Amino acid sequence: MQQMVRTGAPSTPTIEDLYTQYRPSLVSYFSSHGFTHEDAEDLTQDTFFKAWQALSKVQYDNLRPWLYRIAKNVAIDAARKQHMRECNAPQCPLEEEWCAGMCNQEETILTRLSLVEALQRIPERYRRAVVFSAYGFSLAEIAALASYSPKAINTIVHRGRKALKQCYQEV
């Protein structure tokens, strides 16, 4: 990774800076989309390689949505290539929200599995919006990633949470 670092003005982020800051959340992002941990690590590397190739062309005030747009495209490409439909338990903020306060480890595991199943049952655009929202992305950032208006994303996130809650109760 050392050879990939670009130099520039002190305020210009390097690929190493981005890697340090976003690697764990990108691995979780890929895991939450059904990839194994090993695949998530590989896809994270692919994402950073593509980011490194395009880093000189991007506006530095908007790196997070840009990096996640690359990750989204990498995930779509990987899913198409592997025809991946089976999902492992995600490691994302949704787990913390839904599993908070659970004392029993077995209950926590069952809750996670139910959450994964419920996430897989809701439409893809709802799932993505809910996951990005759980990661703390603003409506404007999600809108930029999904190519919708912030108002439309607000509706999609709301409907996605409602659909997730309904599917979770059915599981």
Secondary structure (H, E, C), the chain:
CHHHCCCCCCCCCCHHHHHHHHHHHHHHHHHHCCCCHHHHHHHHHHHHHHHHHHHHHCCHHHHHHHHHHHHHHHHHHHHHHHCCCCCCCCCCHHHHHHHCCCCCHHHHHHHHHHHHHHHHHCCHHHHHHHHHHHCCCCHHHHHHHHCCCHHHHHHHHHHHHHHHHHHHHHC
Q: What is the pLDDT of residue 11?
A: 62
Q: What is the pLDDT along the chain (171 residues), one digit of tens a residue?
A: 334 444 444 467 788 988 999 999 999 988 887 788 999 999 999 999 999 888 888 776 778 888 988 998 898 888 777 643 333 444 555 555 555 554 455 566 667 778 888 888 999 889 989 988 888 889 998 998 888 999 999 999 999 999 999 988 887
pTM: 0.48
Q: Which domains does the chain have, with CATH numbers?
A: 12-87 (1.10.1740.10), 89-171 (1.10.10.10)
